[in-house]
Structure 1
Amino acid sequence: MENALPDRTTPAVAVVGARYDPVTVAGRIARIDADLRWLQRRLSGSVRTVGYRSDGTAISTTIPPASGSHRMLLIEQRARLLGELGHWRKVREWQIAAGRIQDHGPATISPGDSVKIRGRWHRVLGTYHRTLRIDGGGGRARAVAYRMVSDHAPGDEESVD
């Protein structure tokens, strides 16, 4: 006899799988890092260059350090984000240790290699500190963050779509 009830675990497994996808985890870590930098600038104050005069001198605006209840709110947000960052970095370390993903960077990828991004292979044209330049097809090159790389093949070992 068939079960008349729908399988409710399949959507839950898909949601958890997407939440812990290596590219998603790396993106979440990058976003939390950026949020923490923004909070630090608000907590300690900062100077921002908004333009330049014709004589070359900078036009700047000064953002004073947060104070009062707003400062307390920012401190609470920073504490929460630091906890989240610790969790997602542990998840990322587990993924690397389990072999689900490799920690790619300029030391592991070179021009001429092939990388898999969003299911397609691309030839690497150049590597930089945070990004790599790939052949985007049609003679166009584009920059992609290392966190988007899901697989890597050195040299000409892998076919390129």
Structure 2
Amino acid sequence: MAAEEGAKEARRRAESAAVTTSARYDPETVKNRIDSLQARQRADQRLLDGHERTLFVVRGVRQVEKTAPIEGAYRESVIARMEERADQISYWEGVRAEQIASGQATNYGPEDIAKGDQVQRRGQWYRVVRVNRKTVSIPSIVGGGWTDKVAYHELSGHIRAEAQKEPAETWVDVEEARL
């Protein structure tokens, strides 16, 4: 009886680990992780270099906040943190490249998609209303009169406007979505 309970527990733990690993290596999660790591890397680089930012402008006069480069032990800890993070970025970029090569992930960008094309997001097809640098604008997912933005790495399919013969089964028309 105890052996059977132990086997069930081991099986449950193995299934749980498989689900966790699957979620950790999901293509959208991997790309989001890379973007987040790179953003933190840029923030730390600003700490090392020092930076300035405009707080506000009144009658043509800019009010600027200047931040000096960090020094001493804190600087050394930030450099060490950045080196470790660079290794993480390298690892996850390798994972992402493998996913793209195997067809598990897409690698669309603004040069691939044009206004009027259809894109697929989570099984649903939408007409592209606008192409942005990091996203495409599509009709509201919930049917409102606004548009929603979808990051390129969240897209799972793409059909050029000139290649469209008939709308896909799950097609959402811009005008219908606004009604």
Asked if the contact 2:53–2:65 (Cα under 8 Å) also holds between the matched residues in 1, the reply is yes
User: 1:125 matched to which residue of 2?
Assistant: 129
Q: 1:61 aligns with which of 65, 69, 92?
A: 65
Q: 2:20 aligns with which of 15, 20, 45?
A: 15
In 2, Cα distance between the equivalents of 1:77 and 1:160?
46
User: 2:33 matched to which residue of 1?
Assistant: 28
Q: Summarize the Cα distance change of 1:44–1:132 in structure 2 as closer, same or farther, 3 Å threshold.
A: same
- TM-score (normalizing by structure 1): 0.90
State the superposition RMSD in angstroms.
1.7
User: 1:43 matched to which residue of 2?
Assistant: 48
In 2, Cα distance between the equivalents of 1:51 and 1:105?
34
In 1, Cα distance between the equivalents of 2:150 and 2:63?
32
- State the Cα deviation string for residues 15-60 of structure 1 (Å, max 9, x = none): 111101100011011101111110110000001111111x122111
Where structure 1 has 5 or more consecutive residues not aligned to the other structure, the ranges are none
What amino acid is the match of 1:61? E
What amino acid is the match of 1:88? W
Q: CA deviation at 1:149?
A: 1.6
In 2, Cα distance between the equivalents of 1:36 and 1:94?
23
SS at match of 1:13: helix
Asked if the contact 2:138–2:147 (Cα under 8 Å) also holds between the matched residues in 1, the reply is yes
What amino acid is the match of 1:49? T
Q: 1:92 aligns with which of 96, 103, 108?
A: 96
Asked if the contact 2:109–2:134 (Cα under 8 Å) also holds between the matched residues in 1, the reply is yes
SS at match of 2:171: coil
Q: Which of the two has greater strand per residue?
A: 1
Asked if the contact 1:23–1:150 (Cα under 8 Å) also holds between the matched residues in 2, the reply is no
SS at match of 2:56: strand
In 2, Cα distance between the equivalents of 1:68 and 1:118?
48
Where structure 2 has 5 or more consecutive residues not aligned to the other structure, the ranges are 173-179
Residue 114 of structure 2 corresponds to residue 103 of structure 1 = no
Q: CA deviation at 1:86?
A: 0.1
In 2, Cα distance between the equivalents of 1:76 and 1:149?
35
What amino acid is the match of 1:139? G
User: 1:160 matched to which residue of 2?
Assistant: 171
SS at match of 1:29: helix
In 2, Cα distance between the equivalents of 1:78 and 1:142?
34
Residue 145 of structure 2 corresponds to residue 147 of structure 1 = no
Asked if the contact 1:96–1:102 (Cα under 8 Å) also holds between the matched residues in 2, the reply is yes
Q: Which of the two has greater helix per residue?
A: 2
SS at match of 2:129: strand
Equivalenced residues, count: 158
